[in-house]
């Protein structure tokens, strides 16, 4: 293989692709050919780098030079300056939002430097469509070790010792979960051969149509805005496959299923490619790596229901039945898919497994806190400078994530809260910014870890509206089986709708608290149990905002349309007519160079005038 001088890693995650990273790649290849540098420089597309707001991204290896926000037009100059003349181009590098010199090296950029990658170890480094690159960086070594040097029981002990907990949100100890499934007997109906725990299923077993046991990967990722799992599947699908292979070996499962949400076309494509390549290498199928272990994986697409993230609803969906949570016990480990013992884990959980087997439980458990070991992937979004995907050791504080890695709040605004855990979670206010991120601490603060969503909010986010938004989501996604969730969240939504429209009544806060508490205690599954959380935590920490909406009919953050008015400040207005020209309902009047006036009767509070005004003359209160 020829010795390349440089590898140009072009990010081809969904974010960068939608920002034309493929065009950037084509331009790079063109220019490199023009300067006859093809023998020296290799251009490779990789999965998501995580710094999604700054794409398209190209990382130059081995020097680790980081280029961002690239356009096709900038490429000829870049190629000539950096690769021909050896001068990296500063104006294409990352510059801290607070100002200062550009930072050339990726590892020096705080967003990257403070992360610790395990599940995302290969992101941005390998071409996810080439299995050889995964193997080049150590891939499938853990599988080889497990199959040739460890017994299934030893693998489970290693996972137990590592302290790995489910990354889908519930945080159940993974090793224990695997053990339940391994110990379950699958000697019940449907199996031609009485397998019992631990027997490797034979080809004969598979032709009967049903495996002895199943493992499932939950890639439904329903939380709005969450993209941790999507990133792992797009950037490093083999990490998931290797994790499942090791898990199947440990549990004694003959078949695996990946349930992936239908809204992830790129991830699905890369996944199917990875499966094909793995099969070509015999890493899936029969007698894997020369052992007597047989295992293969099929893929099923979700059809747009958040409730399918709940494991028994997911199983229902796979079986072609209504997706609704089932009576437990029996738990999936005893009777799951098609009545067989089934172990379900989240994508990120599976992706951690190869690293634990390769480097050992001692190494893994040295990272994190006493009760929460390892790292966690978070999608850091919202009102934060460095938006993207971060993987950090458990125990890091919220403050470090938002300010050191995230680079703080843009536009000089004030931090207000971080919403964690999606629609099942809650808000962490400023007073709790030093909360360490781990399962127990977040729960104590009234929120949850969840699958890793982290939405940063500033002074212009209305917390009542945030609660209303999340409840309307869970309301729409409720499966409808149990009365408290189906009816209760509908009532909560109506009450919140009224409050944000200025129709709240005295006593509504207590009403929401009581209904919320009842729903939490009586609902059937996690969706219902946690749906009231956004409401309860915002009431707990931002009660004054609720009171302002109800008593004063006022939205302090200036968000709830029914409670705000847009007006023009005569002090600042220059009469430039920009607002009048752009108003979609033509409700602004005024002569040139005269103060303009908004007709309150016609104003639809769209905010267009504010966004086009260059003189800060629009007042929202």
Partner 1 sequence: MKLKPEDLDKIRERMKSTARLREAEGKAKINVHLGTCGIASGAREVLHAFLKLVDETGGEDVIVTTSGCAGLCKREPMATVEIAGEAPVKYVDLDPDKAKKIFEEHIKGGNIVKEYALAVGSERLG
Partner 2 sequence: MAKITIDGKELEFDEGLTILEAAKKLQIKIPTLCYNEHLSPYGGCRICLVEAATRAAPERSRLVPACTAPAEDGMIVVTDSDHVLDSRRFIIELLLSRCPESEQIREMAAEMGVGPDSSNLDVVGHYLLHRAPKRESTNCILCSLCVRVCQQIPQRFALSLKERGIGRKVTPPFERVAESCIGCGSCAYVCPTKTITIEEAS
Q: Which two tokens stand for residue 386?
A: 């460095």
Least distance to partner 1, CB of residue 131, Å:
9
Distances (CA, A) of 575 to 571, 578, 583, 616: 11, 8, 14, 12
Residue 523 touches which of partner 1, partner 2, none (CB < 5 to 8 A by kind)? partner 2
Least distance to partner 2, CB of residue 131, Å:
39
Q: Is 452 left (phi over 0), alpha (psi -120 to 50) or beta?
A: left
Least distance to partner 1, CB of residue 238, Å:
12
Q: 3-state class of 291 per DSSP?
A: coil
Distances (CA, A) of 156 to 180, 245, 247, 252: 11, 13, 8, 11
Distances (CA, A) of 502 to 26, 304, 546, 553: 54, 33, 11, 5
**Residue 417, strand partner residues:** 429, 457
When the beta carbons of 141 and 202 are compared against partner 1, the nearer one is 141
Residue 289 touches which of partner 1, partner 2, none (CB < 5 to 8 A by kind)? partner 1
Residue 100 touches which of partner 1, partner 2, none (CB < 5 to 8 A by kind)? none
When the beta carbons of 447 and 475 are compared against partner 2, the nearer one is 475
Residue 132 touches which of partner 1, partner 2, none (CB < 5 to 8 A by kind)? partner 1
Least distance to partner 2, CB of residue 520, Å:
10
The residues of the shown chain that bind partner 2, judged by CB under 8 A, are 305, 307, 322, 327-329, 475-484, 486-488, 490-491, 494-495, 507, 510-511, 514-515, 518, 521-524
DSSP 199-256: PPPPHHHHHTT--SSEEEEEE---STT--HHHHHHHH-HHHHHHHHHHHHHHHT-SEE
Residue 586 touches which of partner 1, partner 2, none (CB < 5 to 8 A by kind)? none
**Residue 455, strand partner residues:** 381, 419
Least distance to partner 1, CB of residue 281, Å:
5
Residue 362 touches which of partner 2, partner 1, none (CB < 5 to 8 A by kind)? none
Least distance to partner 2, CB of residue 546, Å:
15
Least distance to partner 1, CB of residue 132, Å:
6
When the beta carbons of 40 and 497 are compared against partner 1, the nearer one is 40
Residue 522 touches which of partner 1, partner 2, none (CB < 5 to 8 A by kind)? partner 2
When the beta carbons of 495 and 587 are compared against partner 2, the nearer one is 495
When the beta carbons of 260 and 509 are compared against partner 2, the nearer one is 509
When the beta carbons of 293 and 473 are compared against partner 1, the nearer one is 293
Distances (CA, A) of 272 to 46, 124, 231, 258, 279: 16, 20, 15, 11, 11
When the beta carbons of 84 and 192 are compared against partner 1, the nearer one is 84
Strand 214-219 relative to strand 342-346, pairing: parallel
Residue 87 touches which of partner 1, partner 2, none (CB < 5 to 8 A by kind)? partner 1
Q: Which two tokens stand for residue 179?
A: 């053990």
Q: Distance between alpha carbon 14 and the CA centroid of its chain, in Å?
A: 13
Residue 483 touches which of partner 2, partner 1, none (CB < 5 to 8 A by kind)? partner 2
Least distance to partner 2, CB of residue 525, Å:
10
Least distance to partner 1, CB of residue 360, Å:
19
Least distance to partner 2, CB of residue 497, Å:
10
Instruction: Measure the CA–CA gap between 582 and 332, rounded to whole angstroms.
Output: 57
Q: Order the strands of the 65-67 sheet from edge to edge.
A: 41-46, 6-11, 58-61, 65-67
When the beta carbons of 73 and 149 are compared against partner 1, the nearer one is 149
When the beta carbons of 515 and 583 are compared against partner 2, the nearer one is 515
Least distance to partner 1, CB of residue 32, Å:
14
Q: Which residue shows structure tokens 């199928």?
A: 285
Instruction: Measure the CA–CA gap between 79 and 83, rounded to whole angstroms.
Output: 5
The residues of the shown chain that bind partner 1, judged by CB under 8 A, are 1-7, 9, 40, 61-64, 84-88, 125-126, 132-133, 135-138, 140-141, 144, 147-148, 280-283, 285, 287, 289-290
Burial class (CB in 10 A: 0-12, 13-18, 19+), 161: middle
How many helices, marked H, and strands, marked E, lie in the chain? Answer: 25, 17
Residue 148 touches which of partner 1, partner 2, none (CB < 5 to 8 A by kind)? partner 1
When the beta carbons of 287 and 521 are compared against partner 2, the nearer one is 521
When the beta carbons of 522 and 595 are compared against partner 2, the nearer one is 522
When the beta carbons of 40 and 513 are compared against partner 1, the nearer one is 40
Distances (CA, A) of 229 to 258, 530, 565, 580: 12, 21, 41, 45
Residue 615 touches which of partner 2, partner 1, none (CB < 5 to 8 A by kind)? none
Residue 249 touches which of partner 1, partner 2, none (CB < 5 to 8 A by kind)? none
When the beta carbons of 7 and 572 are compared against partner 1, the nearer one is 7
Sequence-distant (≥ 6) Cβ neighbours of residue 459 within 8 angstroms: 413, 414, 416, 557
Least distance to partner 2, CB of residue 476, Å:
6
Least distance to partner 1, CB of residue 137, Å:
6
Q: 3-state class of 270 per DSSP?
A: helix
CA angle 105, 107, 109 (to 5 degrees): 75
DSSP conformation class of 91: G
Q: Is 24 left (phi over 0), alpha (psi -120 to 50) or beta?
A: alpha
Q: 3-state class of 576 per DSSP?
A: coil
Q: Are 59 and 15 in contact (CB under 8 A)?
A: no
Residue 64 touches which of partner 2, partner 1, none (CB < 5 to 8 A by kind)? partner 1
Distances (CA, A) of 525 to 42, 268, 285, 479, 532: 51, 28, 36, 10, 13
When the beta carbons of 87 and 414 are compared against partner 1, the nearer one is 87
Q: 3-state class of 84 per DSSP?
A: helix
Instruction: Measure the CA–CA gap between 265 and 302, rounded to whole angstroms.
Output: 12
Residue 85 touches which of partner 1, partner 2, none (CB < 5 to 8 A by kind)? partner 1
Least distance to partner 2, CB of residue 489, Å:
8
């Amino acid at each position: 293989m020829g010795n390349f001088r440089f590898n140009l890693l072009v990010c081809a995650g969904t974010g960068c692709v939608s920002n034309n990273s493929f065009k950037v790649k084509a331009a790079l290849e063109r220019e490199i050919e023009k300067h006859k540098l093809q023998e020296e420089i290799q251009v490779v597309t990789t999965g998501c780098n995580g710094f999604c707001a700054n794409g398209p991204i190209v990382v130059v290896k081995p020097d680790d030079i980081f280029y961002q926000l690239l356009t096709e037009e900038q490429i000829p100059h870049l190629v000539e300056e950096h690769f021909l003349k050896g001068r990296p181009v500063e104006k294409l590098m990352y510059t801290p939002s607070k100002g200062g010199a550009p930072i050339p090296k990726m590892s020096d950029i705080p967003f990257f430097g403070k992360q610790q990658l395990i599940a995302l170890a290969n992101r941005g480094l390998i071409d996810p469509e080439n299995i050889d690159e995964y193997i080049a960086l150590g891939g499938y070594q853990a599988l080889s070790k497990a199959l040739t040097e460890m017994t299934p029981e030893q693998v489970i002990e290693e996972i137990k010792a590592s302290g790995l907990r489910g990354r889908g949100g519930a945080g159940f100890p993974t090793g224990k979960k695997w053990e339940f499934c391994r110990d379950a007997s699958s000697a019940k109906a449907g199996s031609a051969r009485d397998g019992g725990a631990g027997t490797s299923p034979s080809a004969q077993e598979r032709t009967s149509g049903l495996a002895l046991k199943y493992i499932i990967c939950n890639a439904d990722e329903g939380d709005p805005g969450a993209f941790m799992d999507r990133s792992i599947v797009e950037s490093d699908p083999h990490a998931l496959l290797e994790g499942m292979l090791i898990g199947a070996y440990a549990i004694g499962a003959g078949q695996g299923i990946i349930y992936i949400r239908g809204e992830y076309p790129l991830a699905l494509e890369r996944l199917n490619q990875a499966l094909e390549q793995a099969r070509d290498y015999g890493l899936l199928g029969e007698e894997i790596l020369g052992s007597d272990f047989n295992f293969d994986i099929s893929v099923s697409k979700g059809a747009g229901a958040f409730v399918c993230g709940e494991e028994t609803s997911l199983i229902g969906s796979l079986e072609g039945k209504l997706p609704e949570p089932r009576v437990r016990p029996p738990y999936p480990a005893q009777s799951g898919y098609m009545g067989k013992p089934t172990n379900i884990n989240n994508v990120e959980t599976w992706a951690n497994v190869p690293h634990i087997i390769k480097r050992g439980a001692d190494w893994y458990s040295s990272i994190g806190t006493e009760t929460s070991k390892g790292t966690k992937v978070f999608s850091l979004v919202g009102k934060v400078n460095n938006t993207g995907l971060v993987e950090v050791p458990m125990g890091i504080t919220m403050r470090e994530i938002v300010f050191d890695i995230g680079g703080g709040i843009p536009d000089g605004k004030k931090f207000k809260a971080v919403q964690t855990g999606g629609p099942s979670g809650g808000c962490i206010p400023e007073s709790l910014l030093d909360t360490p991120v781990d399962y127990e601490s977040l729960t104590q603060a009234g929120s949850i870890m969840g699958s890793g969503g982290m939405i940063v909010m500033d002074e212009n986010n209305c917390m009542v509206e945030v609660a209303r938004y999340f409840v309307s989501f869970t309301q729409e996604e409720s499966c409808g089986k149990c009365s408290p969730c189906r009816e209760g969240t509908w009532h909560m939504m109506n009450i919140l709708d009224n409050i944000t429209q200025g129709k709240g009544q005295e006593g509504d806060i207590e009403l929401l608290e009581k209904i919320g508490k009842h729903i939490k205690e009586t609902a059937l599954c996690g969706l219902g149990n946690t749906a009231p959380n956004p409401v309860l935590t915002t009431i707990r920490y931002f009660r004054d905002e609720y009171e302002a909406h109800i008593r004063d009919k006022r939205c302090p953050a200036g968000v709830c349309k029914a409670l705000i008015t847009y007006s023009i400040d005569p002090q600042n207005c220059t009469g430039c007519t920009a607002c009048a020209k752009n108003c979609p309902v033509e409700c602004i009047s005024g002569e040139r160079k005269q103060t303009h006036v908004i007709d309150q009767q016609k104003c639809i509070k769209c905010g267009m005038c504010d966004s086009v005004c260059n003189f800060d003359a629009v007042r929202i209160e």
